[in-house]
Chains A and B, each alone.
Chain A
Amino acid sequence: MLASENFRKLASNPVHLEESVPSEDIRQAILIREVESAFLRLFSQGRMNGTVHTCVGQEFSAVAIAGQLAPDDWVTSNHRCHGHFISKTGNWRGLMDELMGFRSGVCMGIGSSQHLFAKGFLSNGPQASLVPVATGIGVHLKKHDKDAISVSFIGEGTLGEGTLYEAFNLAALWGVPQLIVCENNLYSQSTHQTFALAGSIRGRAEAFGIKSFESNTWDPAALRSVAKEAIDYVRARRGPAFLVVQTYRLNAHSKGDDDRDTSEVAFFRSRDPLNRLLERNAKWQSIQTDIQAEIDRHISDSSRTLLTASEYVVDQLPRDHDLARTEVRNEKVRMVLALNRAYRRLIERGAQMIGEDILDPYGGAFKVTNGLSTEFPDSVVGTPISEAAITGVGIGLSLMGSPTYVEIMFGDFVTHVFDQVISNASKFFHMYAFQAKVPVRIRTPMGGKRGYGPTHSQSLEKHLVGIDNLGVFALTSLEDPGTALAAIDLLAGPAFIIESKVDYGRVLWQGSSDYGIHRAGNELGTLIVSPLHRKPSVTVVAYGDMAREIADELETIFVRSDSVIELVVPITLHPLNIQPVLQSARQTRSVVVVENGSVAFGIGSEILAELSEVEPGLRCKRIGADAVPIPSVLSLEKELLPSVNKLIAAISEISGV
């Protein structure tokens, strides 16, 4: 138990707070402690939402560090964030209202203890999740502000999360003005450090070439001075820094879950500088009493108005219910070039683009970003292989007002970004009571048919649709992607853009003598490929490259299936507008939905469910890939993935042929 011994040693030096620490700091520390104590009281009275993770015993970490920051600096924190919040924003009243669940709370009661937001501050529960976001904020600050810095509070338990190290790497590589503060209180929830941590804590940062500092909360004056040194270092743009603060929490991890040795807790409680001050100093005792009274007054005076469901259940998703018709006429240009010029236009409009291998001369794995980094060196950033962190960076940049396009090289790798998408991008708007906008766009090519095998051929969109507040869009070579992208660029919320590998090489669809194509709705609406001379008898819903493959084989499909199809191609997968599909289905009474991934619980399920809610009695079928990892053998891959053959079979099946 070496760590514990060190801690005991540190805690054993007697320190007289009133002699070494500014009064304001002491007052702030007491305030934090009393607010936390009030929370515990309210909790036992049943007047608190959720749980609390109090920072009693660690207050000086917040006071010394967050308390020395400037208004333009940004702080991210974790579940034990109250001290940080109060030190950075001073808004303890809003914090209390938040935890009591009132509309007057920092986030209207939506976020409560772990999910706070104010200018210059945000916190979120999942460990390390916000660190790359803070890196992104730091990147933005470096570009636009000479002085401001980004500070991330983590615990020593957070040192187990991989994303943290991705962020270390990025911060060091790019010289981001980010200070990461590790409050080491020896225990991650119930796990002693010995069982959680291998190697050296400071060594971790130093391995990335990040300057590290160390201090503790038992000598707040020294901590203050070390903190200033670290902050000044980062502010002077000399690079990121890592500050480890040894400390000890006097209360349970959250509430009632304390299995630590009681004598150990008692030891640290008795050595707690604040406790010692308050035991013997009458002046500070009375200040403490005043603070308690102020807190109690606030609790009783607080307006108990609550947020309503109708106020809360809104989102930023684009929903166009107009089905205005626009003819679609395409230039003869390859999809990849059409994408390139569309993204070029967006960068001209101020977008940032980050991704792996997107810089010239390589220009991206599929050449979508070819030439862009040369033309816009400040806007196009190449990154190491850190999908999660670069997504976090994109979120941070977007949060600060720079809409950012994050390229994930292969759709298969979105597995890495789920935490960033679900914990951050999807949630900020609501969780932070509509105060935060995250116009991040994650773009990636999905799909197989190149023999790339199980982890380079997947279509994982069904795992992305339906995530709160996240628009999901599937581009297709049936229409110039610039149209949809221009509209996506204007969205206030996060978006997922699905491109397709096999579609990249195709020349935009030049039409057919037997079919016409038009768009129903606005730029994110639905493409309808309709037979010109016959009434369709089957509605086929498809998206992305499969839509194009079907459009190229309309006559073959007719000849082999004996049915004239109408092809309905939604650009927006989520939120899905069922109207165009419904209109077609009402005529044909037969619907086949084609998706790129496997069928179970997929896109087709949603479409047919929405249809059946309003129009019973349709003949339906979903087709997609067989539910096995995609093999590399080309012929087998072709057979297992959705195809025109599968479509023809499905049409024949529902036509009763």
Chain B
Amino acid sequence: MAVQVVVERDNVNDETVIVRKIYKQSGMRVAADDPILEIETSKTVKEVRSPKSGFLILTIKEGDEIAVGGRLFDVDTNTEAMAHQAPDTIGDVKKADVGRVFSSAAEALAKELHVDHQLLPEGWITSQDVRAIATAGKSNAQGDGEPRARQVARPVDKVIPKANFRPESMSLRKRTEVRNLARANSHGTTSIIGMDVLLPGARIASPPYLFEDSITDVVVFEAAKLVRHFPDLNAFCVDDRTIGYFEEVNFGISFDGGHDLKVLALRNADTLSLAQIQSGIQELLELYESKESIDDGLLSTSTITVSDLSRSSATFMMPLLNAEQSLLIGITSRDSRSYTLHAAFDHRVSEGLQVARFLEELRERVISHHRPSGVRHNSMNLRCSACDQTLETEAGHSRPWLVQVVLQDGSQGQLCRNCYDGW
């Protein structure tokens, strides 16, 4: 006998739903209450669970649009496999949650400590697990002078920022990662990747005084545009299964006079020109130093942040992410040509390779604002594979580049302008 599961009506508007994620394969054995798939309505994303134990019969695929009332899957309960089912189980086993099996002690403790079940990972949950979550919550709670009656600890603060965002459901893989990160507890969920930026020379266009011997303005300028191609870096972790993607790119500039660290937002930074960025930062600095009260909108609407320590002699930093962001770029420098970008990112939202690519691209863009000087860089030694001219000699021309080509033997080479044109 097969039990059919159909799309239930979620709201008056939707006539269809979209199948977002399928967790199981057709033919698998499933238990009652096992989550089978995820569907998206206009209002929300929700899980659909198996009503019974048995074998799953599933023919739809991810991305399919199913009408309300249409079939999602069947569960075949009439199988010999049922013969194996444990006979009279001793005592009654209550499944507290879908995908979670609480020991009796865990269930009781969770009740006693008012631990939200949603905070707990899937799988089997012991009283120790419950206690660990409860204890973590205690240490996370900001001391606001009052003892909290409810010791609720969340791996993620569900603080809703002022910037608008679009929530998206995390992939199953990411959710598992989030759980593991929370458990690993190494340095939270923030990871850092560094990248050196070696400037070839001075700025092509001389910057205002504030940004002499600095790359912060171009970093903000380029990064603001670049995150449109890396949306995960302009987002934040809403909870252990949802990522919020910001609609605007509001670049937070970190100001620290030694007494009062503030991050002020340069709103819609991706729409601004370099000059506008420069003047914008200038204005924020003046605002900060004026010590006047600062508009709430500037303080809490940042979606990413930059923290510039290039004026100090620091060579390394591990910036801390703000709660509702997933990227913070720290800048240190060794000398006026040598900088390092330290990208702190939320591993729940993005990943190392992605951030590394972002930084590579950012670096190239930052470098592109600088002209090579007489100082020999490695790149200046590059020679045209055809005429052996170096890049240095190209520097004076209007098109001071070498084109990178793949030669007949598969190796890479360069062609100077003349030789390229000649080809």
- Do residues A533 and B105 form an inter-chain contact, with CB atoms below 8 A? no
Type the 1/0 row for B71-93, where 1 means its CB is closer than 8 Å to any CB of A.
00000000011011011011101
Number of A-B contacts (CB under 8 A): 62
- Do residues B80 and A562 form an inter-chain contact, with CB atoms below 8 A? no
Chain B: how many interface residues by the 8 Å CB criterion? 23
* Chain A interface mostly: loop
Name, among A534, A560, A562, the residue most crowded by chain B CB atoms within 10 Å (CB to CB).
A562
- Do residues A558 and B89 form an inter-chain contact, with CB atoms below 8 A? no
Q: Distance (Å) between the CB of B100 and the closest chain A CB?
A: 11
CB < 8 Å neighbour of B104 from A507, A510, A562: A562
The interface residues of chain A lying within 8 Å CB-to-CB of B91 are 556, 559-560
- Do residues B105 and A534 form an inter-chain contact, with CB atoms below 8 A? no
When chains A and B are docked, how far (Å) is the Cα of A531 from the Cα of B101?
13
The interface residues of chain A lying within 8 Å CB-to-CB of B80 are 332
CB < 8 Å neighbour of B89 from A533, A537, A553, A562: A553
CB under 8 Å from chain B, chain A span 533-567: 533-534, 537, 552-553, 555-556, 558-564
Stretch binding the partner chain, chosen from B119-127, B296-304, B305-313:
B119-127
When chains A and B are docked, how far (Å) is the Cα of A507 from the Cα of B103?
28
CB under 8 Å from chain A, chain B span 80-137: 80-81, 83-84, 86-87, 89-91, 93-94, 101-106, 123-124, 126-127
When chains A and B are docked, how far (Å) is the Cα of A552 from the Cα of B123?
18
- A44 within 8 A of partner (CB): no
Q: Chain A residue with minimal CB distance to B81?
A: A510
Q: A513-B31, A559-B102, A562-B105 are in contact. Are A534 and B84 (CB under 8 A)?
A: no
The interface residues of chain B lying within 8 Å CB-to-CB of A558 are 101, 103, 124, 126
Q: Chain A residue with minimal CB distance to B103?
A: A562
- Do residues A657 and B105 form an inter-chain contact, with CB atoms below 8 A? yes
Q: Chain B residue with minimal CB distance to A564?
A: B124
CB under 8 Å from chain B, chain A span 600-650: 643-645
- A514 within 8 A of partner (CB): yes
When chains A and B are docked, how far (Å) is the Cα of A528 from the Cα of B283?
68
CB < 8 Å neighbour of A510 from B31, B84, B93, B103: B84
Type the 1/0 row for A561-576, where 1 means its CB is closer than 8 Å to any CB of B.
1111000000000000
When chains A and B are docked, how far (Å) is the Cα of A509 from the Cα of B31?
17
- Do residues B101 and A559 form an inter-chain contact, with CB atoms below 8 A? yes
- Do residues A564 and B126 form an inter-chain contact, with CB atoms below 8 A? yes
- Do residues B31 and A534 form an inter-chain contact, with CB atoms below 8 A? no
The interface residues of chain A lying within 8 Å CB-to-CB of B93 are 555-556, 559
- Do residues A534 and B103 form an inter-chain contact, with CB atoms below 8 A? no
Q: A510-B81, A513-B29 are in contact. Are A559 and B90 (CB under 8 A)?
A: no
Q: Chain A residue with minimal CB distance to B109?
A: A562
Q: Chain A residue with minimal CB distance to B130?
A: A562
When chains A and B are docked, how far (Å) is the Cα of A332 from the Cα of B82?
11
CB < 8 Å neighbour of B90 from A510, A531, A556, A564: A556
When chains A and B are docked, how far (Å) is the Cα of A644 from the Cα of B89?
10
The interface residues of chain A lying within 8 Å CB-to-CB of B105 are 562, 657
The interface residues of chain A lying within 8 Å CB-to-CB of B81 are 332, 510
CB < 8 Å neighbour of B124 from A514, A552, A553: A514
Type the 1/0 row for B52-81, where 1 means its CB is closer than 8 Å to any CB of A.
000000000000000000000000000011
- Do residues A560 and B103 form an inter-chain contact, with CB atoms below 8 A? yes
The interface residues of chain A lying within 8 Å CB-to-CB of B83 are 332, 507
- Do residues A534 and B124 form an inter-chain contact, with CB atoms below 8 A? yes
Name, among A513, A531, A645, the residue most crowded by chain B CB atoms within 10 Å (CB to CB).
A513
Q: Chain B residue with minimal CB distance to A657?
A: B105
The interface residues of chain B lying within 8 Å CB-to-CB of A564 are 124, 126
When chains A and B are docked, how far (Å) is the Cα of A552 from the Cα of B86?
6
Name, among B29, B87, B124, the residue most crowded by chain A CB atoms within 10 Å (CB to CB).
B124
Q: Distance (Å) between the CB of A161 and the closest chain B CB?
A: 47
Type the 1/0 row for A558-600, where 1 means its CB is closer than 8 Å to any CB of B.
1111111000000000000000000000000000000000000
Q: A534-B123, A556-B91 are in contact. Are A562 and B101 (CB under 8 A)?
A: no
- Do residues A559 and B31 form an inter-chain contact, with CB atoms below 8 A? no
- Do residues A533 and B124 form an inter-chain contact, with CB atoms below 8 A? yes
Q: Distance (Å) between the CB of A1 and the closest chain B CB?
A: 69
Q: Chain A residue with minimal CB distance to B80?
A: A332
The interface residues of chain B lying within 8 Å CB-to-CB of A563 are 103, 126
When chains A and B are docked, how far (Å) is the Cα of A645 from the Cα of B102?
18
When chains A and B are docked, how far (Å) is the Cα of A176 from the Cα of B391?
107
When chains A and B are docked, how far (Å) is the Cα of A513 from the Cα of B99?
12
When chains A and B are docked, how far (Å) is the Cα of A537 from the Cα of B126?
11
Type the 1/0 row for A514-541, where 1 means its CB is closer than 8 Å to any CB of B.
1000000000000000010110010000
When chains A and B are docked, how far (Å) is the Cα of A491 from the Cα of B75?
48
- Do residues B104 and A560 form an inter-chain contact, with CB atoms below 8 A? yes
Q: A332-B80, A507-B84, A513-B31 are in contact. Are A553 and B101 (CB under 8 A)?
A: no
Q: Distance (Å) between the CB of A639 and the closest chain B CB?
A: 12
When chains A and B are docked, how far (Å) is the Cα of A553 from the Cα of B92?
12
Q: Distance (Å) between the CB of A643 and the closest chain B CB?
A: 8
When chains A and B are docked, how far (Å) is the Cα of A281 from the Cα of B31?
98
When chains A and B are docked, how far (Å) is the Cα of A533 from the Cα of B124?
8
When chains A and B are docked, how far (Å) is the Cα of A560 from the Cα of B102?
9
When chains A and B are docked, how far (Å) is the Cα of A563 from the Cα of B84?
24
- Do residues B101 and A556 form an inter-chain contact, with CB atoms below 8 A? no
Q: Distance (Å) between the CB of B35 and the closest chain A CB?
A: 13
Name, among B80, B90, B102, the residue most crowded by chain A CB atoms within 10 Å (CB to CB).
B90
Q: Distance (Å) between the CB of B293 and the closest chain A CB?
A: 52
- Do residues A559 and B123 form an inter-chain contact, with CB atoms below 8 A? no
The interface residues of chain A lying within 8 Å CB-to-CB of B123 are 514, 533-534
Name, among B84, B93, B94, the residue most crowded by chain A CB atoms within 10 Å (CB to CB).
B84
When chains A and B are docked, how far (Å) is the Cα of A513 from the Cα of B83?
16
The interface residues of chain A lying within 8 Å CB-to-CB of B89 are 553, 556
When chains A and B are docked, how far (Å) is the Cα of A448 from the Cα of B81?
26
- Do residues B86 and A562 form an inter-chain contact, with CB atoms below 8 A? no
Q: Chain B residue with minimal CB distance to A534?
A: B124
The interface residues of chain B lying within 8 Å CB-to-CB of A559 are 91, 93-94, 101-104
When chains A and B are docked, how far (Å) is the Cα of A531 from the Cα of B123?
11
CB < 8 Å neighbour of A562 from B29, B31, B90, B106: B106
When chains A and B are docked, how far (Å) is the Cα of A259 from the Cα of B85?
72
When chains A and B are docked, how far (Å) is the Cα of A513 from the Cα of B81?
13
- Do residues A555 and B84 form an inter-chain contact, with CB atoms below 8 A? no
When chains A and B are docked, how far (Å) is the Cα of A286 from the Cα of B378?
118
- Do residues B90 and A553 form an inter-chain contact, with CB atoms below 8 A? yes
The interface residues of chain B lying within 8 Å CB-to-CB of A552 are 86-87
The interface residues of chain B lying within 8 Å CB-to-CB of A561 are 103
- Do residues A555 and B101 form an inter-chain contact, with CB atoms below 8 A? yes
Q: Distance (Å) between the CB of A506 and the closest chain B CB?
A: 8
The interface residues of chain B lying within 8 Å CB-to-CB of A531 are 124
When chains A and B are docked, how far (Å) is the Cα of A562 from the Cα of B125?
8
Q: Chain A residue with minimal CB distance to B102?
A: A559
The interface residues of chain B lying within 8 Å CB-to-CB of A534 are 123-124
Q: Distance (Å) between the CB of B273 and the closest chain A CB?
A: 53
When chains A and B are docked, how far (Å) is the Cα of A533 from the Cα of B83?
26
Q: A534-B123, A562-B127 are in contact. Are A553 and B86 (CB under 8 A)?
A: yes
Q: Distance (Å) between the CB of B240 and the closest chain A CB?
A: 17
The interface residues of chain B lying within 8 Å CB-to-CB of A507 are 83-84
Name, among A534, A559, A644, the residue most crowded by chain B CB atoms within 10 Å (CB to CB).
A559
CB under 8 Å from chain B, chain A span 495-510: 507, 509-510
Please give the residue numbers on chain A whose beta carbons come within 8 Å of chain B beta carbons, in ascending order: 332, 507, 509-510, 513-514, 531, 533-534, 537, 552-553, 555-556, 558-564, 643-645, 657
10 A-B pairs with the lowest CB-CB distances in the bound complex, closest first: A562-B105, A562-B103, A552-B86, A510-B84, A533-B123, A559-B103, A556-B89, A562-B127, A559-B93, A562-B126
Q: What are 29 pairs between A and B in contact, CB < 8 Å? A: A332-B81, A507-B84, A509-B84, A510-B84, A514-B123, A531-B124, A533-B123, A533-B124, A534-B123, A537-B126, A552-B86, A553-B90, A556-B86, A556-B90, A556-B93, A558-B101, A558-B126, A559-B91, A559-B102, A560-B91, A561-B103, A562-B103, A562-B106, A562-B127, A563-B126, A564-B124, A643-B90, A644-B90, A645-B90
Question: Known contacts A509-B84, A560-B91; can you find 6 more A-B pairs with CB under 8 A?
Answer: A514-B124, A555-B101, A556-B90, A559-B101, A562-B104, A657-B105
